[in-house]
Amino acid sequence: MKAQIIAIGDELLIGQTLNSNASYLGKVLTDLDIEVQKQVVIGDEEKIILSEFASAWNNFDLIVVTGGLGPTHDDITCETVAKFFKSELVKNDEVLKDIKDRFARLNRTMAPINETQAMVPEIASAIRNYYGTAPGLWIENENKIMIVMPGVPYEMKQMMTNYVLPKLSERILPSGVITKRLTLLTTGIAESTLFSKFGDIKEFLQGAKLAFLPSQFGVKLRLTVTEKDEESAFNKLNELEQKIRSFAGRFIYGKDDDDLAEVVGNLLKERGLTISVAESCTGGNICSMLTNFSGSSKYLERGAVVYSNAAKVEILNVDEDAITAYGAVSKEVAIQMADGIQSISGTDIGLSVTGVLGPTGGSAEKPVGTVFIGLCDQNGCTAQKFNFGDDRILNKQRTTQAALDMVRKNILGIPLDA
Amino acid sequence: MKAQIIAIGDELLIGQTLNSNASYLGKVLTDLDIEVQKQVVIGDEEKIILSEFASAWNNFDLIVVTGGLGPTHDDITCETVAKFFKSELVKNDEVLKDIKDRFARLNRTMAPINETQAMVPEIASAIRNYYGTAPGLWIENENKIMIVMPGVPYEMKQMMTNYVLPKLSERILPSGVITKRLTLLTTGIAESTLFSKFGDIKEFLQGAKLAFLPSQFGVKLRLTVTEKDEESAFNKLNELEQKIRSFAGRFIYGKDDDDLAEVVGNLLKERGLTISVAESCTGGNICSMLTNFSGSSKYLERGAVVYSNAAKVEILNVDEDAITAYGAVSKEVAIQMADGIQSISGTDIGLSVTGVLGPTGGSAEKPVGTVFIGLCDQNGCTAQKFNFGDDRILNKQRTTQAALDMVRKNILGIPLDA
């Protein structure tokens, strides 16, 4: 099954909204072995929408459309779908009831405009919307499927999970070959250094595919194998993974959708360890990442965002003289911060960061991008210096990633300079 | 000038990477009055790339391509561009020097594979890459322009800022009409409630366009006017803005790209106020948002991530009996947390959040999504209760937004229940 994703909305074209829906849809459809070959974004204009529908309907088996289903005047997707299929818009009583119930539940008055959202093209089945008022549409015709959903990400995802994905799964028939993917997530190693470790890449891969995907969080290695059955694909992926781990294992923190913060959280949980974090330049981002996962109260005891020197001294008992002698951004202060947060919280690990994220605050000795990360555990304290770039937000993300990776290496007994 | 953006990369199609480049490009091209009519994502496959190039070259004046320029075997964009224009790949000495200098500067050994990145189609001018090794390409032919850049966002953005945007600006000629846009950012009001305040929308707009863009951060109102000159466009936008502010002003926290955290930071700075934040459920996210901007040390004194009850009691002096009597998620504890962080830090404002973000931890009395936000200033303390949804990450973002908005309203003297 070959698919095209169409997102409708001027806000996407002019860059006001990030097309996170296409990325989500790409992922879940690929997981079903549906080949997403094209994503398109177009504006809220009838002529352009109709022309894109026609081209997609000619070339693909599945077309997934998002956006333009809201209650306001600039949303024209539903009428345009009706026009494309030459189908009447009819009032759907179930949808109307859902909308009314929703407003009653939220104790809000229903605006008359919301009633028009219960008008559905006759050719379509309505997909219920648990988080909003616009229904989705499921249309089957000429052996093809068109699915239309709201552009609001959580409304669309709910429809995918509860309705679309289960229904699509039923349709997918097994074919002669199986494609499987595995992504290994590395951090702390440059793309070209990593690449050169593979030697002759074609010989290494033996027909499999490998993509290098760099970002500020590290380089992802995406392996794709196509084999005759599930077992061969699994074995091939496994063999390649082991080969890669043999020379780059210490840089690999996870697979596929793993998040380093979740990996670290799980390691802490498994080993019954607790952590506390003292953050200066990351401003709370490390704690925020660690608490994105349910159950994080099991391992994160507390954090301190010690932006001012007073806060470093008062909360963490950092020695004022050390700040004067070495500067707030220094190995000594990083270690005292990690030691301080560990002591006051009584956790197994104390983590700290202090740095100059920029764009201002740099000096010749400590230019923008200079960061010290400190870590204390039952064996003592250590700190590492990093030199990141010029961009404040990228530096924050890199510092967070490097600090979390330092915890990962510490727990797993991987030397820090490896 | 009409433009299409093409992103090349399997990682985008399968949803492994978010297409943030398209959103950035949409924004900066729109700002130049270039009309981005289509965004397309396709995979790293020569046949598909060539076919999309052909269709784009037929229909648009400007084609901006990103992705597939890396040093590894799966990057084929540069060769495919050469093939499309039937142009030879030739070694570019300036690019080669840039690559060599870069490796020298970073004290790294240059991999032989990086040398191939200095091969550029003869038809193209090379665009220098300050952050990476792959050069960009600028091609002019048949009165059309094709620009090819790396997919790594910061490399691409640097090329846009230093080379592409200045060069494109020279080409844009003034025409008979001017299009101007203004986006008003609201939070704390539902899309349909906001819409109903406009009355007859066509009469209200008098020919202007208005889009409602909802998200977990609030509803954005994007106004577009087309007028005969800059001044008329400015006046029309201004008139519409004032009309909208007359009935929804208190919900409007900013314009265009404003970020609520930056708006709040600027308000604090302007008025010489300081803030400290005690976060439970948001885990540091509020502080992290407040510190995304240079100069935030002027107003953020410190933050405490008090995930455990012990931390609430030890750092913030919250009364243990209050936690037992009312629960850690309660109005009383929220107020004590705000009061505690304000007292220990000596700031003008103390802000606190405590809540159940889910998916676990809810009860009949305090279901998942229940959040209390507390605020203390020189006039005393207050707390508000919010009922958000089921999704942990969305709840975190909504709580952060609501807490920052509470600070905004507090500083501007807007009643909290408005």
Task: State how far residue B418 is from chain A, nearest Cα, in angstroms.
Answer: 16
What per-residue confidence (pLDDT) applies to B175?
64
**Structure confidence by residue, pLDDT tens digits, B302-341:** 999 998 999 999 999 999 999 999 999 999 999 999 999 9
| Residue B368 sits in the same domain as residue B389 | yes
Mean per-residue pLDDT of chain A: 92
Rounded to whole angstroms, the Cα distance separating A351 from A342 reads: 8
Cis? peptide before A359, omega within 30° of 0: yes
| Residue B280 sits in the same domain as residue B247 | no
| Residue B291 sits in the same domain as residue B251 | no
Q: Choose among B136, B103, B131, B105: nearest CA to B121.
A: B136
Is B50 within a domain? Answer: yes
Query: In which band, very low, low, confident or very high, does the pLDDT at A229 lie, cut at 50, 70 and 90?
Result: confident
Residue B109 has pLDDT above 90, yes or no: no
Is B107 within a domain? Answer: yes
Residue A418 has pLDDT above 80, yes or no: no
Is A116 within a domain? Answer: yes
Domain CATH for B358: 3.90.950.20
What per-residue confidence (pLDDT) applies to A417?
67
Q: Choose among A344, A276, A348, A290: nearest CA to A314.
A: A344
| Residue B273 sits in the same domain as residue B203 | no
Q: How many CA atoms lie within 13 A of A241 on its CB side?
A: 20
What per-residue confidence (pLDDT) applies to B361?
86
What per-residue confidence (pLDDT) applies to A174?
60
Which among B25, B192, B305 is the nearest to A303, CB-wise? B305
Query: In which band, very low, low, confident or very high, does the pLDDT at A72 lie, cut at 50, 70 and 90?
Result: confident
Residue B294 has pLDDT above 60, yes or no: yes
Rounded to whole angstroms, the Cα distance separating B72 from A202 reads: 12
Residue B95 has pLDDT above 60, yes or no: yes
Q: Choose among B213, B222, B219, B152: nearest CA to B180.
A: B222
Residues of A within 8 A of B211 (CB-CB) are 10-11, 44, 72, 74
How much of chain B exceeds pLDDT 70, in percent? 99
Q: Flag if A152 and B214 touch (Cβ within 8 Å).
A: yes
| Residue A389 sits in the same domain as residue A304 | yes
Under DSSP, the state recorded for A116 is G
Within the 247-306 window of chain B, which residues sit less than 8 Å (CB to CB) from chain A? 277, 279, 281-288, 290-297, 300-306
| Residue B27 sits in the same domain as residue B120 | yes
**Structure confidence by residue, pLDDT tens digits, B25-64:** 998 998 888 999 999 999 999 999 999 999 999 999 999 9
**Cβ neighbours, 10 Å, residue B242:** 10
Domain CATH for A154: 3.40.980.10
Residue B418 has pLDDT above 60, yes or no: no
What per-residue confidence (pLDDT) applies to B174?
60
Domain CATH for A243: 3.30.70.2860
| Residue A335 sits in the same domain as residue A403 | yes
Sign of CA dihedral B232, B237, B240, B242: negative
Per-residue pLDDT, averaged over A338-353, amounts to 97
| Residue A158 sits in the same domain as residue A295 | no
Measured N-to-C along each axis, helices B309-316 and B331-345 cross at an angle, to the nearest 10 degrees, of 40
Sign of CA dihedral B148, B153, B154, B155: negative
Under DSSP, the state recorded for B1 is -
Which of B137, B171, B205 delimits the end of a domain? B171
**Structure confidence by residue, pLDDT tens digits, A2-43:** 999 999 999 899 988 889 999 999 989 988 889 999 999 999
Q: Is B326 helix (H, G, I), strand (E, B) or coil?
A: helix
| Residue B245 sits in the same domain as residue B270 | no
- Domain of A136? 2-171
CB B66 within 8 A of CB B132: no
Which helix (H) or strand (E) segment is B387 a member of?
strand B380-387
Residue A172 has pLDDT above 80, yes or no: no
What per-residue confidence (pLDDT) applies to B166?
83
Residue B71 has pLDDT above 70, yes or no: yes
Per-residue pLDDT, averaged over A287-311, amounts to 94
Is B271 within a domain? Answer: yes
Residues 6+ apart with CB under 8 A from B135: B69, B92, B95, B98, B117, B118, B120, B126, B127, B128, B129
Task: State how far residue B362 is from chain A, nearest Cα, in angstroms.
Answer: 12
**Structure confidence by residue, pLDDT tens digits, A48-62:** 999 999 999 999 999
What are the CA-CA distances from residue B175 to residues A43, B171, B178, B317, B407 (Å)?
A: 22, 12, 7, 65, 44
What per-residue confidence (pLDDT) applies to B358?
86
**Structure confidence by residue, pLDDT tens digits, A119-157:** 999 999 999 998 888 999 999 999 999 999 999 998 999
| Residue A167 sits in the same domain as residue A193 | no
| Residue A295 sits in the same domain as residue A376 | yes
B183 touches chain A (CB under 8 A): yes
Q: How many domains does chain B have?
A: 3
Q: Flag if B18 and A15 touch (Cβ within 8 Å).
A: no
What per-residue confidence (pLDDT) applies to A215?
80
Is A129 within a domain? Answer: yes
Q: Is the ipTM of this complex over 0.85?
A: no
Mean per-residue pLDDT of chain B: 92
Task: State how far residue B176 is from chain A, nearest Cα, in angstroms.
Answer: 22
Which of A235, A255, A275 delimits the end of a domain? A255
Query: In which band, very low, low, confident or very high, does the pLDDT at A170 lie, cut at 50, 70 and 90?
Result: confident
Query: In which band, very low, low, confident or very high, does the pLDDT at A102 lie, cut at 50, 70 and 90?
Result: confident
| Residue A92 sits in the same domain as residue A117 | yes
Rounded to whole angstroms, the Cα distance separating A304 from A287 reads: 9
The nearest alpha carbon in chain A to B280 belongs to A302
Is A418 within a domain? Answer: no
CB A406 within 8 A of CB A375: yes
Rounded to whole angstroms, the Cα distance separating B159 from B150 reads: 9
Per-residue pLDDT, averaged over B272-295, amounts to 96
**Structure confidence by residue, pLDDT tens digits, B377-404:** 999 999 999 998 888 998 999 999 999 9
What per-residue confidence (pLDDT) applies to B48?
92
Residues of B within 8 A of A11 (CB-CB) are 211, 213, 220, 222
Which of B214, B237, B255 delimits the end of a domain? B255
Label the pairing between strands A35-42 and A2-8.
parallel
